[in-house]
Amino acid sequence: MTDAEPSRETTVGELSEGQILRGILDRLPPSSAPVGPGDDAAVLSVPDGRVVATTDTLVHGPDFRLAWSSPFDLGFKAAAVNLADVAAMGARPIALLVALAMPDATPVSFVRGFADGLAAACAELAPGCAVEGGDLTVSDTLTIAVTALGSLDGRAPVRRSGARVGDGVYVIGELGEAARGLDVLFERFTDADGSPVALTAEARDALDAADAKALSRQLTPRPPLAEALRAAASGATAMMDVSDGLALDATRLADASGVTIALDSATLGDDPARALGGGEDHGFLVAFAPDAEPLGRRIGTVVARGAEALTVDGRAWTGRVGWDPYRDWDAGRG
């Protein structure tokens, strides 16, 4: 290479699917499954004869921006949000399948960072869970579709429909922090046209502690999986991942259970509106019977079904009710 030729990173378009795949698998912990990656399908052990399965997709544009999320962040988040859905059933995550659709021009370093993020999320949030399969293809839009599988280890699944009148309503994890992090991004890391501008390490370092924490919750959520599994073992009657905002998700749990959830705004921190309306918390909303030993913070009570599925301080909630990609994403915004 001469000075006249700027150094240019190798792109995935220059490699075969097999070469890209090896670059990923080399960075992931080894499989302990009966059949791991490399065959037509994986074979996984679920000793009690039941498997828990969920899938969630991250799409460039509505779900993330490469100006803001590092490849590591994306791998971590794609794993974390799916692991949370498995734990919300009371199940222990055992495997991820990762389908990655990338533009030809994606640098190979993206794939390496992404794989490191997947590995880190499994190690930190769900030790023993590994990437046991996946798919690579080309796309104009960077798209990450993850499936997570889990084992109930003999326990009953904890469904949304199990809340009973008189149960206490608890939340495990934080509310509103991820939404605050998204606000930080849109308010401080967009240009005059609303397009994202790069979130540099220097810019992150310049944030105050609260904003830096909120940004971290938005970019690399850390759902408290171990506590969700303890809640399941402690007799939670209903549980769900809080992903689309507390107000919307509590409404869903109430509807599924045929009850009303009565929340007390005084329990929702400094900014109850953000706690209720913000998305991507990836904590857990849990109902416990009155005689159970609950985990988390109590935020309300399950009452007989009334005119509203959800009340806040005794009244219908009329504020923002969470994130719906088909309603809320405006491609023109950035």
- Is the CB of 153 or the CB of 308 nearer to a copy of itself? 153
Q: Least Å distance between CB 45 and a copy of itself?
A: 6
| Least gap, CB of 60 to a copy of itself (angstroms) | 8
CB of 174 to a copy of itself, least distance (A): 18
Which of 266, 263, 225, 180 lies closest to 85, judged by CA? 225
- Quote the CA–CA distance of 288 and 7 in Å, as a whole number: 59
In the bound complex, what is the minimum distance in angstroms from residue 44's beta carbon to a copy of itself?
5
Minimum distance from CB of 284 to a copy of itself (Å)?
Answer: 9
Per the annotation, where are the binding residues?
A: 40, 54-56, 63, 85, 134-135, 160, 241, 243-244, 280, 323
8 A C-beta contact, residue 215 and residue 187? no
Are 242 and 322 in contact by the 8 Å Cβ rule? The answer is no
Residue 272 or 278 having the CB closest to a copy of itself = 278
What is d(CA 59, CA 82) in angstroms, rounded to the nearest whole number? 14
* Residue-wise DSSP of 69-107: S-HHHHHHHHHHHHHHHHHHTT-EEEEEEEEEEE-TT-B
* Nearest residue (CB) to a copy of itself, 118 versus 214: 118
Q: What phi, psi does 275 have (nearest 5°)?
A: -60, -40
Contact 261, 135 (CB under 8 A): no
300 in Cβ contact with 169 (< 8 Å): yes
Cα radius of gyration (the chain): 21
Feature table: binding site for substrate = 63, 280, 323
Nearest to a copy of itself of 138, 210 (CB atom): 138
Q: Which is nearer to a copy of itself, 134 or 272 (CB)?
A: 134
Output 149 or 247, the one with its CB closest to a copy of itself.
Answer: 149
The annotated binding site for ATP is made up of 134-135, 160, 243
For residue 168, give both structure tokens: 């206490």
Give the CA angle between residues 187, 193, 198 to the nearest 5°: 60
Shortest separation between residue 188's beta carbon and a copy of itself, angstroms: 25
